[in-house]
Chain A
Amino acid sequence: MSEYEIRDSIGTAKGLDASEQPAGGGEVFRHSKKRHETRTNTALHVVLAVICVVWLVPFVFLVCQSFRSFQTESGGMVDYVWPREGLSMDNYKALFIKGFNAKNYTITNMNDEAVKQAAIEKFNGDFTRDFTQGFVPWWLGSLGIAAVTALVITGAIVLLKREADRSDAVAGRRWLILFVILQAVFIPFLLVVSGIRSAEFTGTQGILKVFLSMFLFIGFGAVAGHVYLKQDARLLREIPGYPQESAWAWVKRAAVLFLELTALLLVLLCYIRPNDNSQYITWYGNTLTIALFVSVIQTVIVLSVSYTLSRIRFKGRKLLMNVVLVLGMFPGFLTMVVLYFILRDLGLTQSGAVPGLILIYCASSGMGYYISKGFFDTIPKSLDESARIDGATRFQVFLKIIMPLAKPIVIYTILMAFMAPWGDYVFASYVAFGSPDNFNVAVGLYRWVNVNDYQGYFTLFCAGGVLVALPITALFLALQKYYVEGVTGGAVKG
């Protein structure tokens, strides 16, 4: 007697009318599990869709670029490059042979016959070398990337399922978003850290490599995830009550795990290699330092100003607010030239660009008090008065009563104060001009594709761009609930 039949007979024994019985026995039970399965499948599709979109742009670009490469007489691959003055085609062929590390040879001495000879000597007869110059072949590396992806996706699905079991859809969605971000960030991170350049994704093999990576990347993840899903769905459908796992399920799970771990090892061997002079980490660090300092200082200033203007009546308050309003109508760029000279005299340009930029961004932050003042105005004044009578100083009122109630606006202020310097290009570019160690990410990335080698750095540029989105996304995800949360409920009658 199967499980379903038992359930049927129980139903009948209880005297239930046949029409009330779920058709096929246990249908109600199965139905609910089906819904669960659908939900997780949808989640999987969302994960895959997002990854595709994130990755498609650079990949398509790489594929297009590959067609512009050509083959040397000796069978090696040579990149198509922008014509630069004073270089003959021969020089190009010599210097942009695949795998050539351009960083060791600057553009200026490319006309040097000795360098040219050295380059030809170095790479002549070396055309059979693997594209990636890693320790493992390119296809293995691609496989590795895909497998790591699979690991992440699988992890996401396992977590999603666990959350779904607790019928906590919101928490499940949170995990989903988290893992999509991990997915989107992991590979760019590897690329940037390792300094892999698009020159390695060129030629006919390059096309193959790109496609294979892409398919494996998504496909392996999908397969691995599907295995889990199928298995879970089956378990849940067939076994009423607490889901138990069969030995076969464990075997499959162990196999997937083994594959994923091996793949992770491979990808590490393949792609991560010491890179002497990528400054990305420095730029990222600079940007992060500036943004963190600015977000703290600016938040403190903005909130203090808004609270004061909202609560304390002093002579000239109206006048001050009006003057600030009028001043705010002038665009900040008007001050650019003046600011540069001031900073230069203070020694805060070029090598002092980071503190200089912090100073610029924080300088007029008090003028942005409008929104938070509006928020403070909505918090009942009697709370302040009550606290003052209870024995609090103005500062204690601000810190202990108003701040907890104004959480949404504090969060908003922090986010805004963080984002402005994080994405700024204009001020950063001229304050740090000519001093690459003090660039922020935006300026650095621009330099990669504009001043440096446009093709060679395009993948890095894309990858770097994705990483720039990381802190902002994380901040928004972590803090979004405060946007909608009304926290002043219960303060006064209502």
Chain B
Amino acid sequence: MASVTLKHIKKTYDNKVTVVHDFNLEIKDKEFVVFVGPSGCGKSTTLRMVAGLEDITGGELYIGDRLVNDVEPKDRDIAMVFQNYALYPHITVYENMAFPLRLRKIGSEEIHRRVCEAAEILGITEYLGRKPKALSGGQRQRVAIGRAIVRDPAVFLMDEPLSNLDAKLRNQMRAEIILLRKRVDTTFIYVTHDQTEAMTLGDRIVIMKDGWIQQCGTPQEVFDTPSNLFVAGFIGSPQMNFLKAELTADYSGSYHVSVLGVDIPLNPDQNSALYAKETPSQAITLGVRPEHTTVLFEANGDPAAIPCTVRVNEMMGSELHLHLVSCNDDNIIVRVPTIGLTPAQREQLVDGATLYITFPAKVMHLFDPESGKNLIFGDAPAE
């Protein structure tokens, strides 16, 4: 129940390695913010700085209105769930959950009430008497979450809490965290390297790479308008397809993209955005999401149809993931819903078969191949 403000936060280790550069973010009260990025991007370090486990080299950190740069973790009114649970192995689940309350000298009746309540929420009431050793991974993670929520903290920090669980349990716990969030209703900062978790959980997503924020926005924004190549490739599964293309502006000020021998005129919106930025004609990297690509079995004289060869055919049940190879040896992945396919069509989708793909101008993302910036939306600075 507090906002968190990070102003120009910087982290440099003793050996002069800077792992977080100039991190600026304002997290509103009761907001669920997810830090996401590949390993070593500084997301966990940032979280640990918020927790007070790492010293802040530069910048200011506010929780609520209080500057907490030099405040001990115990005085920051935060709770944290660790990737490896960090349960105290020598005491029971009940005592684990009561531990933070006991340190705050809360009466034992109140402790009992709160622990039971939290256990009820998480469905671990029957394990309260056990030691952490006797619990499964999912149960341990619940206890770890329980230990955090009994505190009723101002900020709730989670450091890859689901990474140690198996895939099925992870999906289940993810849904439970969404429910939990509705019940606890406080500020959450969640760190993960899994973009699915980030998309499903977060009100806002902060995508990081090499210590820099790449983009910060709602899941929809990040998905629709990735600010650079990295974000575009990181968000979405399967990954966005990247193709070499040419952007040309004609004399009338309208832009075209030529890719794999076809020429696609851009939308008026895109046109005006590019025009406003005075974008010259140049080589670009064209990004198209697999789900925005249509597969045609026959070209049917469509000028925008690009011929491809099927290389791998992945059956996912509700859809097919087709790995295609274009004439330029680009790898293209497309998703084909199985429900619309006739048996005859399905038989056509064998390895080595030739298909045509097509996509409209509005689903295209245009990136500068040098800087990686999105030519239309790319305002956030990339490194």
- Which residue numbers of A lie inside 8 Å of B, CB to CB? 380, 382-383, 385-393, 396, 400-401, 404-405, 487-493
Contact = CB atoms under 8 A, between A and B. Distances in A.
A493 B165 CA distance: 10
Interface stretch (B86-94, B183-191, B233-241, B249-257): B86-94
Contacts of B135: 490
Contacts of A490: 87, 89, 131-135, 140
A259 B53 CA distance: 72
Nearest to A392: B103
Given A385-B53, A390-B103, A491 B74 contact: no
A405 B78 CA distance: 25
A491 B86 contact: yes
Given A390-B147, A490-B132, A493-B137, A404 B90 contact: yes
B77 to A, nearest CB: 9
A392 B132 CA distance: 20
B88 A491 contact: yes
Given A388-B53, A389-B74, A489 B100 contact: no
B212 interface: no
Contacts of B100: 390-391
B352 to A, nearest CB: 45
A241 to B, nearest CB: 37
A49 B268 CA distance: 102
Nearest to A405: B90
Given A390-B100, A391-B74, A383 B53 contact: no
A392 B90 CA distance: 17
A392 B103 CA distance: 6
Given A488-B89, A491-B85, 18 more contacts: A386-B80, A387-B99, A388-B52, A390-B99, A391-B74, A400-B99, A401-B88, A404-B91, A487-B89, A487-B90, A490-B134, A490-B140, A491-B84, A491-B89, A492-B84, A493-B84, A493-B137, A493-B140
Nearest to B77: A391
Given A392-B103, A490-B132, A382 B86 contact: yes
B16 interface: no
Given A385-B86, A487-B90, A491-B86, A390 B151 contact: yes
A383 B88 contact: yes
B74 A392 contact: yes
B73 interface: yes
B60 to A, nearest CB: 21
8 contacts: A380-B86, A382-B86, A385-B53, A385-B73, A388-B72, A390-B74, A391-B103, A489-B133
Contacts of A401: 88
B74 A382 contact: no
Contacts of A487: 89-90
Nearest to B135: A490
B315 to A, nearest CB: 33
B12 interface: no
B282 interface: no
A407 B254 CA distance: 76
Contact of A393 (B74, B89, B131, B132): B74
Interface of B: 51-53, 72-74, 78-80, 82-91, 99-100, 103-104, 131-135, 137, 140, 147, 151, 164
B95 to A, nearest CB: 10
A393 B91 CA distance: 19
A493 B88 CA distance: 12
A380 B78 CA distance: 21
A492 B89 CA distance: 9
A382 B90 contact: no
A407 to B, nearest CB: 8
A389 B85 contact: no
Q: Which of A387, A390, A396 has the most CB of B within 10 A?
A: A390
Contacts of A489: 89, 133
Nearest to B75: A391
A315 to B, nearest CB: 10
Nearest to A390: B100
A186 to B, nearest CB: 39
A123 to B, nearest CB: 68
B180 to A, nearest CB: 18
A391 B104 contact: yes
Contacts of B89: 405, 487-491
A487 B131 CA distance: 11
Contacts of B151: 390
A379 to B, nearest CB: 10
B85 A493 contact: yes
A382 B82 contact: yes
Contacts of A400: 99
B243 to A, nearest CB: 42
Contacts of A392: 74, 103
A388 B86 contact: no
A388 B48 CA distance: 12
B80 A387 contact: no
A430 B193 CA distance: 67
A401 B78 CA distance: 20
A396 B99 CA distance: 11
A489 B89 CA distance: 7
Given A405-B90, A490-B132, A493-B164, A386 B103 contact: no
Contacts of B79: 389-390
B75 to A, nearest CB: 8
A489 B134 CA distance: 10
Contacts of B80: 385-386, 389
Q: Which of B51, B52, B88 has the most CB of A within 10 A?
A: B88
Nearest to A489: B133
A176 to B, nearest CB: 31
A393 B53 CA distance: 13
Contacts of B134: 490
A489 B85 CA distance: 13
A184 to B, nearest CB: 36
Contacts of B53: 385, 388-389
A294 to B, nearest CB: 28
Contacts of A385: 51, 53, 73, 80, 82, 86
Given A489-B133, A493-B137, A386 B82 contact: yes
Q: Which of A383, A391, A401 has the most CB of B within 10 A?
A: A391
B86 A492 contact: yes
A414 B53 CA distance: 32
A326 B161 CA distance: 44
Nearest to B131: A490
A8 to B, nearest CB: 48
A493 B89 CA distance: 11
A214 to B, nearest CB: 50
A389 B87 contact: no
B9 to A, nearest CB: 19
A385 to B, nearest CB: 5
Contacts of B90: 404-405, 487
Contacts of B147: 386, 390
B192 to A, nearest CB: 17
The 8 closest A-B pairs by CB, nearest first: A490-B133, A390-B100, A386-B86, A492-B84, A382-B86, A391-B103, A491-B89, A490-B132
A14 to B, nearest CB: 42
B189 to A, nearest CB: 13
